[in-house]
A and B are shown apart, each in its own frame.
Chain A
């Protein structure tokens, strides 16, 4: 494998190895909690914590882990971080814990985390593994937030942007308009469209991801055709 820069690894995780649209892994939380921007952001944060933690630990222990029992060991490592974020969310962000519900403990069986531990962290040293973790997390978060935004806008006709901010000494998700420096952002942003409730119901999730994948496939195909034409092929 060619040596890559730290930033190169991150960008590869976002675009070429995008966990949701390219690898098609770990779809359960993506579809289930993308009903709104706020939930998508909370899930993305919890996922980033687990992804980074597991990648760092697996790559640190990669020479000690016997190959025969590596999968159970990966699961135990991931499970530790999931339990940690589960308890942290319950203690500090109870509304988000309620909203995400069963999907926080279910990060433990998320195929992306285990897949990266097996395919990347187990074969690379710590620094590239951190880069891979950051890249994959950003790719996952981008997909999740994209889906959440589209579904919230089409399903309710408005968008509530939020941010993690401590207001009055209490940590929580508060509207972006209340964060200093962002007071120009209206809350919520209203779009002049007829809300289609089906978009926030489960079939809407399938429809949105199918449409997005179709879009990316068409864009990719078009790029490939352009490339071939440049090389002198007749199409």
Chain B
């Protein structure tokens, strides 16, 4: 087995491609297909999608800040324990994310009860939102430095947010036109097709 090294704290990577990748070309909702449950469930209304986007961005960034040191200093073979505990990766990450979601839930319930009501079941479900776990797992897989992994998580959150808002705009229009066939999940997927086509075709022409 080759020697495992802990990546440094300060970003040595070029940050701009990481940022644009996470936000557009590898957008979590449209291209990687992570976090679709909340996407189809909440984009019927732009206010709820705004609240959800903010909550998800916050949880993503905070969990990236917490999981990176825990993985590299406790679980990886190069850690202070010196044993290969990487099989505990998934379970550790999910626990960290779940506790963070609990915190966000307290904050939203205290400061914005209407938002809390409209987010409903989807708020505790951020913990089982694939996008959040996906971004922290990807940071580890790509071997990013600490700085780069935080930037990546934040950009992924922004990418999630703009797609939520864009789709909510399309769907609100469809619902207002009262097209019965497109009111439910079907409309959500047609709206997603449109937004995804825009992103994919734009970035197949404009090369970074």
Contacts and interface: CB of A to CB of B under 8 A. Distances in A.
A210 B193 contact: yes
Nearest to A75: B94
Nearest to B192: A206
Given A24-B40, A111-B37, A202-B30, A106 B134 contact: yes
Interface of B: 30-37, 40, 87, 89-91, 94-95, 98, 124-125, 127-130, 133-134, 137-138, 141, 181, 185-186, 189-190, 192-193, 196-197, 200
Given A32-B33, A198-B197, 13 more contacts: A24-B40, A27-B37, A27-B40, A28-B34, A28-B36, A31-B33, A72-B95, A79-B91, A79-B94, A109-B130, A203-B193, A203-B197, A209-B189
Nearest to B185: A24
14 contacts: A24-B185, A27-B37, A29-B33, A32-B34, A79-B90, A82-B90, A109-B127, A109-B133, A114-B128, A201-B200, A202-B196, A207-B189, A210-B192, A214-B186
Contact of A32 (B32, B87, B89, B95): B32
B193 A108 contact: no
Contacts of B94: 75, 79, 108-109
Contacts of A106: 34, 130, 133-134, 137
B36 A31 contact: yes
B179 to A, nearest CB: 12
A217 B192 contact: no
A201 B27 CA distance: 13
Interface of A: 24-29, 31-32, 71-72, 75-76, 79-80, 82-83, 86-87, 102, 105-106, 108-111, 114, 198, 201-203, 205-207, 209-210, 213-214, 217
Contacts of A32: 32-34
B130 A83 contact: no
A205 B29 CA distance: 12
Contacts of A110: 130
Contacts of A109: 94, 127-130, 133
B137 A105 contact: yes
B72 to A, nearest CB: 17
Contacts of B90: 79, 82-83, 86, 105, 108
A213 B36 contact: no
Contacts of A29: 33
A118 B30 CA distance: 29
Given A75-B98, A203-B196, A214-B181, A25 B37 contact: yes
A28 B130 contact: yes
A32 to B, nearest CB: 4
A76 B190 CA distance: 36
Contacts of A76: 91
A28 B94 CA distance: 17
Contacts of A28: 33-37, 130
Contacts of A217: 181, 186
A155 to B, nearest CB: 14
A80 B35 CA distance: 22
6 closest cross-chain pairs (CB), A and B: A210-B189, A32-B33, A203-B196, A206-B193, A109-B128, A31-B33
A108 B34 contact: no
A207 B193 contact: yes
Contact of B189 (A25, A80, A82, A213): A213
Nearest to B129: A109
A195 B35 CA distance: 29
A101 to B, nearest CB: 8
B135 to A, nearest CB: 10
